[in-house]
A and B are shown apart, each in its own frame.
Chain A
Amino acid sequence: MILEDNEIVNLYWERNESAISHTDTKYGAFCHMIAWNILHQNEDCEECVNDTWLKAWNSMPPEKPDALKYFLSAITRNLSLDCYRRKHSQKRGGGQTDVVLEELEECLSRSVGPESEVLAKELTKIINGFLGDLSVRERKVFIRRYYFVESTAEIAKRYALTETNVRMILSRTRKKLAVILREEGYVL
């Protein structure tokens, strides 16, 4: 039986351990896909997904997310990126994740500013504002690439576009983001 999000969150708040199995049933494949896109190793993916459940258990309460799916995917993204960094600290892996991070570096050229929690929240607000100003297609392509870490081939397949089209959209949107970050003082 698949529960609604609020029912699963209530199980966490009641400290009912069945919350984990319900979460796994409903969002296991989704979180696995997020981890897979970053790590491409089944063992590492499973480890990150299991750690996601542990982090979710430890954070609810006090957290009470409205959209459990994206609350979990944020945890999985962070854990997967940290795992990726640990495994690839010595060398460039050359995989999709490296390429995605290199593309994001383009938006930062010479970045400034301390990395504080306050600035991180401000940055999220700026990103949402930037996304809101994009066309629907540009926004979808940007999010599939930089949130879900999908390859340009996968994005092209998803939206019935050519890969060239996808790359052009990504290049344009990165340039727009770079301009906004410069205007907001995150980049010189």
Chain B
Amino acid sequence: MRADDLFKAMNGIDEKFLEESENTENGRNKILKIRRYVVVAACACFAIAIGLYVPNAFRMGRSDLAYEESFETAEESNDAIYDEKSEGAALEVEGEAASDSIYAYNISLYINDEYVDVSWEDNEAVNAIKEVLVDGDITLEMSPYGGFEVYSKIDLSIPAQDEQLTAESGDIVLYNGDTFAVLYDSNTADYTKLGKIYNLSNEELKELLENESVTIALRLE
């Protein structure tokens, strides 16, 4: 008997074992996911608490001063209150504009320095990538996998919302919460969808991605 015979004998492996192997979730992954969600939720609560407390404390401090000044003429005290309110309102508007501004920007994607049009999803994962891009571009060296995608691990905390998807050519996905992939043929797996490349035919996309060396750059523009 040769290795080829042993290899071919595996054609009869029980279907339930083969299906089981296609499930990427394992106990450790589940625990890491739960831990990640707990940390993200805790940070979100903390950020909301800070967001509510600081402006309130600021306004309370200024209104104490306004109260002390109320012994002056009524006109002067009214002016002081008016100034404080309009300044507080201006600070609020500035704060809102600052927090909204990065989400108004778009992520530009370049494959081997060639810009490609992408329609990005409006979800937490894409917003998290935008927040990271504020500090600088992300450059990924991609590796081929399975004859249908190029992928790269990303060392970032991106909130994943995986669901079983049949991803098509041009889809940009997050996989296992830490792997960025671009598909040039279809595949079904647990993915978080990030976006879709358009204005490129399947052949053009395959030509770009079926190269020995593929670099993908993400920029906020």
Contact = CB atoms under 8 A, between A and B. Distances in A.
Contacts of A29: 148, 185-187
In the complex, which of the residues A37, A137, A140 has the most CB atoms of chain B within 10 Å of its own CB atom? A140
Contact of A33 (B7, B17, B147): B147
12 contacts: A29-B187, A35-B147, A67-B15, A74-B11, A74-B12, A111-B1, A120-B5, A124-B12, A128-B14, A136-B26, A143-B18, A160-B28
Q: Is the interface of A mostly helix, strand, loop or mixed?
A: helix
Nearest to B178: A160
Given A120-B9, A143-B13, A147-B10, A45 B147 contact: yes
A159 B176 CA distance: 9
B86 interface: no
Interface in A108-166: 108, 111-113, 115, 120-121, 123-125, 127-128, 131-132, 136-137, 139-140, 143-144, 146-148, 154, 157-160
Contacts of A100: 7
Contact of A158 (B24, B32, B187): B24
A144 B13 contact: no
A42 interface: yes
Given A107-B6, A111-B2, A113-B1, A128 B20 contact: no
Contacts of A113: 1
Contacts, number: 123
Interface in B126-163: 145-148, 151, 153
Given A29-B186, A77-B10, 5 more contacts: A37-B146, A45-B147, A70-B15, A131-B13, A160-B29
Given A139-B20, A148-B21, A127 B3 contact: no
Contacts of B23: 140
B10 A127 contact: yes
Contacts of A108: 1-3, 6
Contacts of B28: 160
B1 A186 contact: yes
A127 B8 contact: no
B4 interface: yes
A4 interface: no
Nearest to B206: A42
B4 A101 contact: yes
Interface string A66-103: 11001001100110010001000000000000001110
Sorted nearest first, the 3 A-B pairs with minimum C-beta distance are: A124-B12, A36-B147, A74-B11
B215 interface: no
B179 interface: yes
B13 A120 contact: no
B4 A146 contact: no
Contacts of B151: 157
